Amino acid sequence: MTLIQHSDLSANPDQNPSVASGGDGNWHRQGKLWSNLNEVCELLRIPTTSNFDDEEFLFQHVQFKAGQRIHTIGQPFDTLFIVHSGFLKTVLIDEFGNEQVLSFPMKGDMFGVDGIHTKRYMSEAVALSNCDLILLPFKKFTQLGRSHIEFEHSMYNVMSRELVREQAMVSMMGALSAEARVARFLVSLSERFAEMGYSSKLFNLRMTRHEIGSYLGLTLETVSRTLSAFNEIGFISVDQRSIGIKDLDALRTLRRLPPSSARAKAAGRRAKSVAAASVHQ
């Protein structure tokens, strides 16, 4: 039983990757077309089982370009999405067009769950980079759950995992200083990159500083100033969107930054130390 033969997204030119790929058709053709159920379970970091026939359960991949919308607020819900590669954001949009970033789905994350209750998506999902997504039609998911209870339970664990992450963010925003929020955000990114098999010490921010601020409840200026301060005192290195983690433990335990005068003195001592070390070499 193939779980999906054709994507309903193809009816919408804004969401049809073959239409939107433009001159970058090679990227679309090179994308993975199908994943079996065991591959999906591995991607979601849930138990796999040999009871599944690799050829019986197949899930379609769809590619999106950076800037494309995957689903919009109020759109009828029929599909869950699993990130195979790439980076996205989910947002709420008020009547004035202002965005509130809710999450940054990455490889191994699932989104679209907010559409289950009302049968309409309650948020908008936008690709921050070229993305390869796996489609999980909700009707087929429920059918599969009835015949494979262990898979259904594991999928509920995935949904709960996403909910716990969102609750932790809300709790953090209410309890921590602006500097600590940015620090914990960098720690979370570092840990998630490690889970994906990438470097946890050096990575690019796919989201803008404005989007980070929206996610953390901070202004763009506060995020930029905090990142500069972290760079100044040696917690991180910053080169535009490239972030190098220098002291993960300090970021994990930070509550507030020292005054700017103290940071300047510390930076001066480090500069002298580096200069002295280079002379001895």
Q: What is the CATH number of the domain that holds 35?
A: 2.60.120.10
CATH number of the CATH domain containing 193: 1.10.10.10
Check if the beta carbon of residue 52 is closer than 8 Å to that of residue 91: no
Residues 6+ apart with CB under 8 A from 114: 121, 122, 123
Is residue 2 assigned to a domain? no
19-49: pLDDT as tens digits: 333 333 343 445 579 998 889 989 998 887 6
Residues 124 and 205 in one domain: no
Residue 15 CA from chain centroid, whole number: 19
Residues of the chain with pLDDT under 50: 1-29
Tell me, yes or no, whether 188 and 119 share the same domain. Answer: no
Question: Which of the listed residues 172, 193, 214 is the one where a domain comes to its end?
Answer: 172
Number of domains the chain is built from:
2
Q: Of 137, 172, 207, which residue is a domain's last? A: 172
Do 185 and 158 lie in a common domain? Answer: no
Q: 133 lies in which domain range?
A: 8-172
Identify the domain boundary among 172, 201, 225: 172
First to last CA, the chain: 67
Same domain, 203 and 153: no
Residue 219: phi and psi, rounded to 5, are: -80, 160
* Residue 175: predicted pLDDT: 81
